Structure 1
Amino acid sequence: MTLTDAELTVLGLLLEQPRHGYELERVIEQRGIRAWTALGFSSIYYLLDKLAGRGLIEAVGEGPRPAKSRATYRVTGVGRDLCAAATLEALSALTPVRSRVLVAMANSPGLAEQDVAAGLTRRLAALGEQLAEVRAARAAQAPLPAAAVAIFDYCEAMLQADAAWAERTLGALTKETALDRYDVKKARRDLYTAPSKDFTEVDVPELRYLAVDGEGDPNTSPAYTEAVEALFTVAYTLKFAGKKTLDRDFVVGPLEGLWRAADPSVFITRDKAAWAWTMLISQPDWITEEMVRAAVAEAARKKDNPALAAVGLRTLAEGRSVQILHIGSYDDEGPILDRLHRGYLPERGLTFNGDHHEIYLSDPRRTEPAKLKTILRQPVKPA
């Protein structure tokens, strides 16, 4: 007796606890299960009937049977054994790659190169949007158990691998190379690298960013999660629009943040509820306000995220600044900032000249807290 992926998914959810169809639908939606398993709402009841008919699940309770939508099901002993066996088999089984894009590439010699390039560009845009959705679903459910972390890691890795393949294929098709793509971390290496032991001074020129404002604890504020998702959604929309309309490409830069408070000491004490923030992603100088407005409008048509309306193009001129590379948890930044505020700056006759600026070089979803790399920057002026 074999199980389809959809049957195995539903059986596993019922193993967690007895559930009825509506509850299964809610859990599937909350966990983003449809991102990796083909499960429609109407198919849930079909699957429940099928699993019950095979003796793998049974309705709970006695007396008159409730309506199908309210019947609660639990897994039988036979179902439990089959679910365990199928799960073990699925862990080691390699699924053949049968993506439709492979059929498309096999047929692509019959199309004009510009049409193939346009199709791959649309694919990249869709992959960027889907990756943003998966990351948002992951953030909304944090903290996650180890199994859920593994699922999201796999989903992100597959989407990133697909995007990397599409970019390489598109690059070969259009004779692009990695050198043709603007990468702010390479173009402004002086601003995106720093020593980890000593403070260093840099002169930060006028730069342009996608930006969105907010306030509150970034670990608990839904507005923060929405803002970050909106930034990356617009950034990827701009990236693919630029390739399509201007034949210019760029690497989406790291997330950055400006942090401010009425009392700067809250950064040392880590009183995050008192923080206000502006989240940023650097943009090439050829990105215009009109392009940003168009990208926001396109993203808003596809995603219901209130933070999209607040995303705009902003110019930041920090000038003389002091920065250092912090390696470790964000919550361990306090001692470094204390050294900066009470030691380095007053000893050199300097004072604040703008918001505290952080550049997140590591992905916190994939990096241990002790290994996170963050550039801490403070614009300064003579006291």
Structure 2
Amino acid sequence: MAALTDGELTVLGLLVEQPRHGYELERVIEERGVRAWTALGFSSIYYVLDKLAKRGLIEATGAPSSGKSRTTFRATVSGRELCAAATRDALTTLTPTHARVLIGMANSPGLPDADVVTGLTKRLDALRDQFADVRATRARQAPLPTAASAIFDYSEAMLAADISWTETTLARETAMDKYDIKKVRRALYSPPSKEFTVVDVPELRYIAVDGRGDPNTSPAYANAIEALYGVAYALKFASKNTLGRDFVVGPLEGLWRADDPSVFVTRRKETWEWTMMISQPDWIADDMVKAAVDNVARKKENPALGDIRPHTLVEGTCVQILHIGSYDDETPTLDRLHNHYLPDNGLTFNGDHHEIYLSDARRTAPAKLKTILRQPVKPA
């Protein structure tokens, strides 16, 4: 015989206790707080009664005196036997719970922090209201039989655990300080725009991908940027979900090199070689990078994903300045750096030309783009 649904077993169990009509079933369900642990609406009761009757598990005890709602039903012999078997199974079977909030938490790194906090706060308020309702229902029915007390104990314990989990998660969300390299390394990411400054850049961690050619026209460059951001956000989500440590995805950065540095001034972009990068907190291990690459690759094909790698950069002493304007308008600033500032201060090149893109070029007018131009140097 087909198994009983939770609603069917609940109604059948009440009829095994004693014969009842629809309104009495509704009253008992309400009094015992049954809806706190099973979905059973008032209209559902009659649907369930019809199903149980068609299966021969219950029967009407006589003609209704005034409509269907006053028809009294009782469990048949087969109904009592199936109810007993299903009850034994219900007492021993572990039913996995798939709380929807877990899906929400899995996706929460993609939301603004304020939205996550607001959602959890509303959930906590609803849980507390539900807990109060269950306790009030229990108090109205006191004293309760042992079985009924056990049901209320379970409902209260589950709600209390959910409240505790939500409170803890909410506290963690509101207390979590996101690592932001632009704030942690403020001196490196907020240079003035009027003059060159000298900074000492420590060892920093990145994810990186290499290539060559004009960034405006090269498909390889476009693939590299898409792959970098995909892996960067996968690492952010993994860090928050598995390590409990969140961070702001850093700005796109690029190392640019050529046999003749003058091509950066003349803008001969087809000869440029580049390494595009996004900074990572020092707790992001190499195996996490590999896992993130694999995760992104399963969702979308991109030939550049296979070239993403962890990268440690040590630049040491650097000269930098903030350029405001189009990338193609960097020439005068680079000319001043290469041909005036460096020789005037007894310095020479000691590494790749480094650019840090603080603006989103897709949403920012070219004249307002902010780019840090950084050059590692050493005594000439």
**2:189 is the counterpart of 1:205:** no
Q: State the partner residue of 1:302.
A: 299
**1:212–1:227 contact (8 Å) kept in structure 2:** yes
Q: State the partner residue of 2:243.
A: 246
**2:314 is the counterpart of 1:342:** no
Deviation at 1:334, TM superposition (A): 0.5
**2:117–2:170 contact (8 Å) kept in structure 1:** no
- Distance in 2, matches of 1:124 and 1:338, equals 46
User: CA-atom RMSD, angstroms?
Assistant: 2.2
**2:192–2:321 contact (8 Å) kept in structure 1:** yes
In the alignment, which of 370, 374, 378 is matched to residue 375 of structure 2? 378
In the alignment, which of 92, 102, 106 is matched to residue 122 of structure 1? 106
Deviation at 1:380, TM superposition (A): 0.3
Where do 1:176-325 residues align within 5 Å?
A: 176-177=173-174, 180-325=177-322
Decide whether aligned partners of structure 1 residues 204 and 167 sit closer, same or farther in structure 2, where only a CA change above 3 A counts: farther
| Percent of paired sites with the same residue | 66
**2:213–2:270 contact (8 Å) kept in structure 1:** yes
- Distance in 1, matches of 2:206 and 2:238, equals 17
- Distance in 2, matches of 1:361 and 1:171, equals 32
Q: State the partner residue of 1:3.
A: none
- Distance in 1, matches of 2:352 and 2:101, equals 42
- Distance in 1, matches of 2:175 and 2:367, equals 31
- Distance in 2, matches of 1:338 and 1:178, equals 47
Decide whether aligned partners of structure 1 residues 171 and 327 sit closer, same or farther in structure 2, where only a CA change above 3 A counts: farther
**2:199–2:319 contact (8 Å) kept in structure 1:** yes
Deviation at 1:123, TM superposition (A): 2.1
Decide whether aligned partners of structure 1 residues 342 and 238 sit closer, same or farther in structure 2, where only a CA change above 3 A counts: same
**2:206–2:280 contact (8 Å) kept in structure 1:** yes
Decide whether aligned partners of structure 1 residues 117 and 201 sit closer, same or farther in structure 2, where only a CA change above 3 A counts: farther
Secondary structure of the corresponding residue to residue 249 of structure 1? coil
Gaps of at least 5 residues in structure 1 are 1-110, 128-161
Secondary structure of the corresponding residue to residue 217 of structure 2? coil
Deviation at 1:122, TM superposition (A): 2.9
**1:212–1:279 contact (8 Å) kept in structure 2:** yes
Deviation at 1:243, TM superposition (A): 1.1
- Distance in 1, matches of 2:257 and 2:175, equals 36
- Distance in 1, matches of 2:341 and 2:187, equals 20
Secondary structure of the corresponding residue to residue 297 of structure 1? helix
Normalized against structure 2, the TM-score is what?
Answer: 0.59
Secondary structure of the corresponding residue to residue 227 of structure 1? helix
What amino acid maps onto 2:170 in structure 1?
T
Deviation at 1:124, TM superposition (A): 4.3
**2:185 is the counterpart of 1:174:** no
Deviation at 1:244, TM superposition (A): 1.1
Deviation at 1:348, TM superposition (A): 0.8
Deviation at 1:379, TM superposition (A): 0.3
**1:194–1:200 contact (8 Å) kept in structure 2:** yes
Secondary structure of the corresponding residue to residue 298 of structure 2? helix
- Distance in 1, matches of 2:309 and 2:206, equals 8
**Based on CA coordinates, which of the two structures has the bigger radius of gyration?**
2
- Distance in 1, matches of 2:181 and 2:120, equals 19
1:193-251 superposed Cα distances (whole Å, 9 cap, x missing partner): 00001000000000000100011000000111110010110011011111111111100
Secondary structure of the corresponding residue to residue 314 of structure 2? strand
- Distance in 2, matches of 1:357 and 1:181, equals 25
- Give the number of aligned pairs: 237
What amino acid maps onto 1:253 in structure 2?
G
What amino acid maps onto 2:312 in structure 1?
T
1:64-121 superposed Cα distances (whole Å, 9 cap, x missing partner): xxxxxxxxxxxxxxxxxxxxxxxxxxxxxxxxxxxxxxxxxxxxxxx99x96664234
Gaps of at least 5 residues in structure 2 are 1-95, 122-168
Secondary structure of the corresponding residue to residue 262 of structure 1? coil
Secondary structure of the corresponding residue to residue 279 of structure 1? strand
- Distance in 1, matches of 2:114 and 2:100, equals 14
- Distance in 2, matches of 1:195 and 1:368, equals 20
